Copies of this chain bind each other. A is one copy, B any other.
């Protein structure tokens, strides 16, 4: 019997640097696929449909929600963001690992539906450094920053729902840690015991 792939849910509070760490992870050779998110927000210059996001209309997105074809989704600043279920299930069925980089609320939805996934929380070293990151981006007003910080604090309180917590002190190191966690998870007894079933059930030799 084909072993199923591993579903890896990589998440963390607003502004912690999930995208940067994820990009670093995918720079190097690895054995897992990236699940591209779907959104109804406008495509920005330079963004590629099917690579950065699947860009869909609000109607198309809501149709997928109705049909139960979203693994998780949320509305954020008036736009939907989410993970289509089909590609995730196909990849797992092929025995390949799939990597989701999603928001905390989405991760908790995945936990309901796929409790055997591996949940990794990327955390800032402390709130002061998170605030500096948000300010440093230079793209948001102080009001938006305050709002994002409030949201981040709520999200950090959900850390205990995850399996692992990795601190984002250095992007390279954080990426390495996440890859190591994924590698190690492949040796969990409940994932590999099927390989040894014959030996375990053997009555003679």
Residues of A within 8 A of B (CB): 121, 123-124, 126-128, 131, 149, 153, 156-157, 159-160, 162-167, 177, 180-181, 183-185, 187-190, 192-193, 195-196, 198-200, 202, 205
Contact = CB atoms under 8 A, between A and B. Distances in A.
Contacts of A128: 205
A191 B40 CA distance: 39
Contact of A187 (B127, B164, B192): B164
A185 B184 contact: yes
A202 B164 contact: no
A109 B167 CA distance: 34
A44 to B, nearest CB: 30
Nearest to A177: B187
Contacts of A183: 180, 184
B187 A165 contact: yes
Contacts of A167: 195
Nearest to A205: B127
Contacts of A126: 198-199
22 contacts: A121-B189, A123-B196, A126-B198, A131-B205, A153-B205, A156-B196, A156-B199, A159-B189, A159-B200, A160-B189, A160-B190, A160-B193, A162-B189, A163-B189, A164-B184, A164-B187, A164-B189, A165-B187, A165-B193, A180-B183, A184-B184, A184-B185
